[in-house]
């Protein structure tokens, strides 16, 4: 969600007449779009702002803005700790950033943070078409902002508000515009995508209907989504995934813990047994499904036995990969008040390593099982590991590095790649054939004489 907000911010700045800076030293405006899910994000921001203090003193015309979730939470504190910041804006008024920067040039520092979103403004948010994207052929589509859940560790509802869904017809129209510009892959975004539309219609099946509708948009070849909530993963959504060709066989299903007592304390709304039942149904109905998850280590009160329960569930789930986090207390959440139950850091570290072993073993087995298979790969560009190779993603979302063929495969191309090796975090392969070239237009800058 933050990545897409940053793309939208960049797009808004370009629409206002700015161009992307080559480096920080060349910039007239520097914007921090912040996260506040974990404490480390806060520390990174103030470290970066500290570095810019001397730069601001040398270049007083440089404008510095801080937006996003941390700005929403700590609106007053930011200027107290970094008086050289020009603008502070929250999660609900991203589109106002150019105007706030203009005001700051004449008025001095400006803080504008709305406590609640404007439902109509969110439903009519600028389409992803105008975002400045890293990949011209792949785009995010935000279908919903905010969250109505009350997970004990999560600050998102406090900084992004309750769930607000965009109309289905608007989302389909946006997908058509993206397809017309050459986008072939879209990722549907929401804090809890499978509760999409309940605030509009009251029905619980609208997300499945959206997947099917997006699957009918000509030119959109791949559809992904993140993140669903296990308690809301309904049969209609599983059926839509299985029956809609464009929807990729990839499911990110956050577990967080395998202990029923810890899940209850987290206020997750499901048991380990219910999670396993829904995962089994998804795997039974969706062919060649890749499954990833989120896990929190060291939630307050987690005992050794309860962590062992998590290890057992994780082993049973046989995940393709996982995002693992150490519990980070965030002010304003229930978890942050459970100080008398905080788990010792050395215990958390040991548990984290044990969990990683189980996850790596599962990921390696999943990837090794793909050796010898031929995969459809969307080419992203040169590999960051080895510039002589290319990288791309399979339909299951797996990163694969592969050797090129005689002709250069440009980003956005589709190729068939034979998998030669499976490692825990990626695949290796060789190109078997080219399916098609890129469909997006490449803009070539014109140089004036």
Any idea what the CATH number is for the domain that residue 146 is in?
A: 3.30.750.210
Q: Is 228 found in the same domain as 265?
A: no
Question: Using 50, 70 and 90 to split pLDDT, how confident is the model at 32?
Answer: very high
Between 35-44, 134-143, 194-203, the lowest mean confidence (pLDDT) is in 35-44
Tell me whether residue 442 is in a domain: no
Domain termination residue (choose one: 204, 233, 248):
248
Mean pLDDT across the chain: 91
Let me know if 396 is exposed, middle or buried by CB neighbors in 10 A (0-12, 13-18, 19+). Answer: buried
pLDDT at 184 over 70: yes
Q: What is the dihedral of CA 313, 318, 322, 328, to 10 degrees?
A: 10
The whole-number average pLDDT for the span 123-142 is 74
Q: Is 291 found in the same domain as 334?
A: yes
At 130 the pLDDT is 67
Q: Which domain holds residue 31?
A: 2-112
For residues 208 and 242, the answer to whether their CB atoms sit within 8 Å is: no
Distance (Å, whole) CA 297 – CA 367: 25
Q: Which residue has the tokens 């693992």?
A: 324
Q: Is 152 found in the same domain as 217?
A: yes
Q: pTM, whole model, 2 decimals? A: 0.89
Question: Using 50, 70 and 90 to split pLDDT, how confident is the model at 125?
Answer: very low
Distance (Å, whole) CA 45 – CA 128: 26
Distance (Å, whole) CA 256 – CA 401: 30
Task: Quote the Cα angle for 322-328-332, to 5°.
Answer: 125
Q: Is the dihedral of CA 377, 177, 242, 296 positive or negative?
A: positive
Domain termination residue (choose one: 354, 369, 384):
369
Phi/psi of residue 447, nearest 5 degrees: -100, 125
Q: Is 120 found in the same domain as 54?
A: no
Percentage helix, strand, coil, to 5, in the chain? 40, 20, 40
Tell me whether residue 319 is in a domain: yes
At 112 the pLDDT is 92
At 5 the pLDDT is 87
Helices (H), 59-118: 69-73, 75-81, 97-107
Q: Is 131 found in the same domain as 105?
A: no
Tell me whether residue 96 is in a domain: yes
Between 63-67, 156-160, 175-179, 433-437, the lowest mean confidence (pLDDT) is in 156-160
Q: What is the 3-state secondary structure of 240-256? A: HHHHCCCECCEEECCCE
**102 vs 15, 86, 228, 305, CA distance in Å?**
14, 10, 39, 57
At 210 the pLDDT is 97
Number of domains in the chain: 4
Q: What is the CATH number of the domain that holds 22?
A: 3.40.50.12160
Q: Return the number of other C-beta atoms located less than 10 Å from residue 257's C-beta.
A: 25
Tell me whether residue 428 is in a domain: yes
At 133 the pLDDT is 84
Between 92-96, 118-122, 149-153, 226-230, the lowest mean confidence (pLDDT) is in 118-122
Percent of the chain with pLDDT strictly greater than 90: 73
> CA neighbours within 13 Å on the CB side: how many for 46?
14
For residues 179 and 145, the answer to whether their CB atoms sit within 8 Å is: no
Q: Is 154 found in the same domain as 195?
A: yes
Residues 6 or more apart whose CB falls under 8 angstroms from that of 90 comprise: 67, 68, 71, 72, 75, 112, 113, 114, 159
Write the DSSP string, 20-36.
--SSGGG-SEEEEEE--
**200 vs 153, 166, 204, 421, CA distance in Å?**
27, 8, 10, 47
Tell me whether residue 446 is in a domain: no
**pLDDT one-digit tens code per residue, 294-345:** 999 999 999 999 999 999 999 999 999 999 999 999 888 999 999 999 999 9
Tell me whether residue 150 is in a domain: yes
The whole-number average pLDDT for the span 182-198 is 94
Question: Using 50, 70 and 90 to split pLDDT, how confident is the model at 354?
Answer: very high
pLDDT at 3 over 50: yes
With b for 16 or more beta-carbon neighbours within 10 A and e for fewer, the 133-158 pattern comes to: beebbbbbbbbbbbbebebbbbbbbb
Map residue 82 onto helix, strand or coil: coil
Distance (Å, whole) CA 249 – CA 396: 5
Q: Is 239 found in the same domain as 193?
A: yes
Query: Bridge partners of 225?
Result: 188
Strand order across the beta sheet in which 63-68 lies: 29-34, 63-68, 87-89, 110-112
The whole-number average pLDDT for the span 373-402 is 93
At 406 the pLDDT is 55
Question: Using 50, 70 and 90 to split pLDDT, how confident is the model at 223?
Answer: very high
Question: Using 50, 70 and 90 to split pLDDT, how confident is the model at 117?
Answer: low
**Which helix H or strand E contains 391, and what residues bound it?**
strand 390-394
pLDDT at 15 over 70: yes
């Amino acid at each position: 969600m933050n990545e897409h907000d940053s793309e939208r911010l960049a797009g808004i700045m370009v629409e206002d007449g700015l161009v992307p800076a080559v480096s920080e030293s060349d910039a007239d405006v520097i914007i921090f779009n912040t996260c506040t899910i974990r404490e480390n994000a806060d520390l990174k921001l103030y470290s970066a702002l500290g570095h810019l203090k001397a730069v601001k003193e040398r270049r007083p015309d440089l404008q510095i803005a801080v937006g996003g979730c941390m700005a929403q939470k700590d609106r007053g504190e930011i200027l107290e700790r970094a008086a050289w910041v020009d603008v502070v804006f929250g999660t609900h008024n991203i589109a106002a950033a150019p105007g706030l920067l203009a005001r700051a040039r004449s008025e001095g520092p400006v803080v504008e943070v709305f406590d609640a979103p404007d439902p109509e403004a969110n439903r009519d948010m600028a389409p992803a078409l105008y975002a400045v994207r890293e990949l011209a052929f792949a785009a995010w589509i935000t279908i919903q902002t905010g969250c109505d859940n009350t997970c004990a560790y999560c600050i998102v509802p406090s900084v992004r508000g309750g769930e607000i869904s965009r109309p289905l017809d608007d989302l389909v129209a946006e997908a058509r515009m993206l397809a017309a510009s050459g986008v072939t892959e879209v990722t549907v975004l929401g804090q809890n995508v499978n509760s999409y539309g309940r605030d509009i219609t009251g029905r619980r099946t609208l997300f499945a209907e959206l997947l099917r509708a997006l699957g009918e948009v000509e030119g959109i070849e791949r559809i992904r989504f993140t993140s669903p909530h296990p308690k809301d993963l309904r049969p209609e959504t599983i059926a839509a995934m299985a029956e809609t060709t464009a929807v990729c066989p990839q499911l990110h299903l956050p577990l967080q813990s395998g202990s029923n007592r810890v899940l209850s304390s987290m206020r997750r709304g499901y048991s380990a047994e219910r999670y396993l039942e829904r995962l089994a149904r998804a795997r039974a109905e969706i062919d060649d499904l890749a499954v990833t998850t989120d896990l929190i280590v060291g939630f307050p009160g987690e005992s050794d036995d309860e962590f062992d329960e998590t290890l057992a569930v994780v082993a049973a789930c046989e995940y393709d990969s996982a995002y693992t986090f150490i519990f980070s207390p965030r002010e304003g959440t229930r978890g942050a008040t459970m100080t008398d139950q905080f788990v010792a850091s050395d215990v958390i570290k040991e548990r984290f390593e044990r969990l990683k072993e189980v996850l790596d073993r599962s990921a390696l087995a999943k990837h090794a099982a793909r050796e010898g298979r031929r995969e459809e790969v969307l080419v992203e560009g040169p590999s960051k590991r080895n510039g002589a190779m290319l990288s791309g993603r399979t339909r299951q979302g797996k990163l694969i590095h592969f050797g090129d063929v005689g002709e250069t495969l440009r980003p956005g191309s589709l190729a068939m790649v034979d998998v030669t090796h499976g490692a825990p975090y990626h695949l290796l392969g060789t190109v078997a054939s080219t399916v098609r070239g890129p469909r997006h237009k490449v803009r070539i800058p014109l140089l004036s004489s």
